[in-house]
Structure 1
């Protein structure tokens, strides 16, 4: 049995922001979402630089080579961001999140890479689970038991990230998994996850088998919730081919 990766990507400015600082890539072996930050055009640039650098990893990497390929891509993105700031000091402080999936040939293995507060969800065997942990101040408070997850959703500092790609060395979370037929992945920026409840996201993933309809519905729900931020989603399915 062979597993075939099929995906669809959507990105939307939302209803409040003047520009879309998210960037997205959905290729043969690689899926990636980056949410830029830093104001003005800097966030656009940081996310675009990162997606361009990471997209170069979209190739045939053995299972044992996935981690090295992704580390090199993330390091290259950091160097390019650092150089962009050196060229124009007004860009100082720009950065971006990154959540990416890199599949081996034949989709026999997948690497999940994560920095920041974009997210990856996996629906498998009828259950949806968040597979990334936010690199944020409020997540740190949740981990320490200071606040509850429900309180984190409305905390005034919920947008403060503790790690992002800004040109300095980072420690991305890297997890290798074995894909299964029927897996459905959702990668998204916080323009979705900050305004749409996780149980609602899970319900949409379960009840919209068509990927395009699923992605469109998620974007629509974020906009119905006010669309305060840019909204980017990738919905990807692993289908068995005999």
Structure 2
């Protein structure tokens, strides 16, 4: 594991020097600041607006890092063949993939902690400890979501071009959030074929809509323990599947 952690630290340092990281931070901070300004315009809905826009800013930041990093981090190494310098040493392809993956996950974790700290101060979470658990669970769901998208995009970037992998990641994200609406329309339309397609999609696409907790309601009411456990198990399962697919494709890929 020492080789994996060394690769992860190297990847983290490389990502911290990338301009996209600072662009994402600026955009996220601006959205959080916008949530504060909009909340100040409506005192009755201040917390609701700040929570909705604030969590959206955190989500977009994590997704931006996952999509852009995941689609290019391996493809760039393969295209320039710089990965051969690492693989020529006693480092396996699986260790190489895990090192790159953990490096981006570490970056997402750091970014989440920074933005969550800013948002928690604006929402007054520290003065209201009863909301701290719900706040942490919402942030955890956003981290899991970005991790699954990252693993998917890394795998897909080994199958198609990086730009297509990035687009596929966006489609997976949107489709995962639209599954609930699609199921509703399928039930209303009473079309058997439509209902079957939606049912299949529920099995082959991460059910992101079931963890759409980015609102003041869940922050104040809290989250049922069974929903948090389901989210953890469901997203961990998809993450492992995509990582295994990434390792499988990278082992079979002809780099030279």
- The answer to which structure has the higher helix fraction is 2
- The answer to which structure has the higher strand fraction is 1
Larger Rg belongs to? 2
